[in-house]
């Protein structure tokens, strides 16, 4: 959870050590699944929302959220290697700080983007005219840039206190605090700014949306709200155990029995928090209608190109088919004209006859 692994092992009983080994192995497997699914899934979301979907305010939010999760899952490879080597860190002090910085930035950026989505949806429901006139893609992009800056500032202290130490001949990456108050300060700050305040804002926003929705007919916006609500629910379910275990570890730092239990199950709460980064693409695919449409179009195009034995002959065949179709239409038109009695045109004024592709029609 953020302590030295040597101290962790010293406080374990043999039973806890055996259980910890199984949890350790399970954590590695979960990390690998998250790395593969999160990188591919978020990469797909970035591709579709960035290059296939129309630029809207919602697509800007989804794109930035996917970028945060993609960077996080991409850096997860360092944690996987470290876990597989019994918490050893062979990448040096700089990568130790950078890996921590990216992880904390992802947490802050995700919750801030979810908060922005909720406020944006609330404004669209309550002040429709204002939102229609003032809600633009440019402003959403500027707000997104501001969120990234704020997340970076919030994450800097956590990377600062991260360091590498050689303990019993093993290099480990961990937090080094001179006083226990410093750790309390950072954990409380992360809990309040990255969980409590955004949670209250999101709850108030959706309560307002629910009140307004009772007086409005159901529209397609209901589906969009359901997507955002599902993403928010998944985020809090994934991150809440992490915060709880952090405070239990701080509060009972002198109780070896409780501390052993917390440190034994702590990796599972961390794995659950990491899992959030690969859940968002799944929610997009299964719940977002526009994303499904663009995704199917992209897949169909790839399959069409891959299954064609000869792309040039494929295009040539389509061109010949089009030519034969046009020739057939002209032949049918000529045959139709031959069957029409010319006498029917004698009583029709010339100005009312319009010729279109050789077929006469009257106005």
Q: Are 275 and 29 in contact (CB under 8 A)?
A: no
Position 6 scores a pLDDT of 44
Q: How confident is the model at residue 197 (pLDDT cuts 50, 70, 90)?
A: very high
Q: Which residue has the tokens 């876990």?
A: 83
229: its two tokens = 């609500």
Closest-CA residue to 1 (of 259, 202, 310): 259
Higher-scoring residue by pLDDT: 69, 321: 69
Q: Which whole-number Å values give the CA distances from 125 to 208, 213, 214, in the listed order? A: 9, 8, 11
Residue located via tokens 């399959």 = 303
Question: Tell me, what's the pLDDT at 314?
Answer: 38
Q: What percentage of the chain carries pLDDT values higher than 90?
A: 14
Confidence category of residue 221, pLDDT binned at 50, 70, 90: low
What is the band of 356 on the pLDDT scale with cuts at 50, 70, 90? very low
pLDDT at residue 325, rounded to an integer: 53
The tens digit of pLDDT for each residue in 41-53 reads: 889 889 888 887 8
Domain boundaries in the chain? Answer: 5-303, 308-362
- Phi–psi pair at 214, nearest 5 degrees: -65, -20
Name the superfamily (CATH) of residues 5-303: Rhodopsin 7-helix transmembrane proteins (1.20.1070.10)
Residue in 22, 18, 19, 20 with CA at minimum distance from that of residue 1:
20
The mean per-residue pLDDT over the stretch 302-318 comes to: 46
Q: Is 208 exposed, middle or buried (0-12, 13-18, 19+ CB in 10 A)?
A: middle
Which position has the higher pLDDT, 273 or 231? 273
- Residue 233 pLDDT grade (very low, low, confident, very high; cuts 50, 70, 90): confident
Rounded Cα gap, residues 47 and 281, in angstroms:
12
- Tell me the pLDDT band of 310, cut-offs 50, 70 and 90: very low
Confidence of residue 150 (pLDDT cuts 50, 70, 90): very high
Output 24 or 3, whichever has higher pLDDT: 24
When pLDDT is averaged across residues 64-81 and rounded to a whole number, the result is: 89
- Model confidence pTM above 0.75: no
- Does 337 have pLDDT greater than 50? no
What is the reported pLDDT for 355? 42
Higher pLDDT, 327 or 94: 94
Contacts of 201-204 spanning 24+ positions with Cβ under 8 A: 201/115, 201/118, 201/119, 202/114, 202/115, 202/118, 202/232
Most confident region among 36-50, 156-170, 306-320, 342-356 by mean pLDDT = 36-50
Tens digits of residue pLDDT in 101-121: 998 998 899 889 988 988 988
Average of per-residue pLDDT across 62-87: 87
8 A C-beta contact, residue 122 and residue 205: yes
CA 64 to each of CA 109, 204, 207, 223, 360: distance values in angstroms, whole numbers, following the listed order:
9, 23, 25, 20, 57
């Amino acid at each position: 959870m953020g302590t030295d692994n040597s101290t962790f092992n010293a406080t374990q009983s043999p039973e806890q050590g055996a259980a910890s080994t199984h949890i350790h192995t399970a954590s590695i497997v979960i990390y690998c699944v998250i790395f593969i699914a999160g990188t591919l899934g978020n990469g797909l979301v970035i591709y579709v929302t960035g290059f296939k979907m129309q630029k809207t305010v919602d697509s800007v939010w989804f794109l930035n959220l996917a970028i945060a999760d993609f960077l996080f899952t991409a850096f997860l490879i360092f944690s996987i290697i470290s876990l597989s080597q019994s918490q050893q860190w062979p990448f040096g002090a700089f990568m130790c700080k950078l890996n921590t910085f990216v992880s904390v930035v992802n947490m802050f950026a995700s919750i801030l983007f979810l908060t922005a989505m909720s406020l944006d949806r609330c404004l669209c429901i309550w002040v429709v005219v204002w939102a229609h006139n003032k809600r633009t893609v440019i402003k959403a992009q500027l707000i997104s840039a501001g969120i990234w800056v704020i997340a970076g500032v919030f994450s800097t202290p956590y990377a600062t206190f991260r360091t590498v130490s050689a303990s019993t001949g093993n290099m480990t990456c961990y937090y080094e605090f001179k006083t226990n108050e410093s750790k309390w300060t950072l954990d409380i700050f992360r809990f309040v700014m990255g969980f409590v305040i955004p949670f209250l804002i999101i709850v108030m926003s959706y309560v307002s949306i629910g009140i307004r929705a009772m007086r409005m007919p159901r529209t397609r916006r209901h589906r969009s709200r359901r997507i955002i609500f599902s993403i928010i629910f998944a985020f809090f379910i994934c991150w809440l155990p992490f915060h709880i275990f952090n405070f239990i570890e701080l509060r009972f730092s002198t109780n070896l029995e409780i501390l052993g239990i917390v440190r034994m199950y702590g990796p599972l709460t961390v794995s659950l928090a990491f899992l959030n980064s690969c859940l968002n693409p799944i929610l997009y695919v299964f719940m977002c209608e526009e994303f499904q449409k663009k995704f199917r179009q992209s897949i169909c195009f790839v399959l069409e190109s891959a299954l064609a034995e000869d792309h040039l002959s494929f295009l040539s065949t389509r061109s010949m088919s089009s030519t034969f179709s046009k020739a057939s239409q002209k032949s049918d038109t000529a045959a139709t004209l031959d069957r029409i009695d010319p006498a029917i045109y004698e009583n029709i004024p010339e100005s009312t006859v319009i010729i279109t592709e050789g077929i006469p029609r009257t106005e």
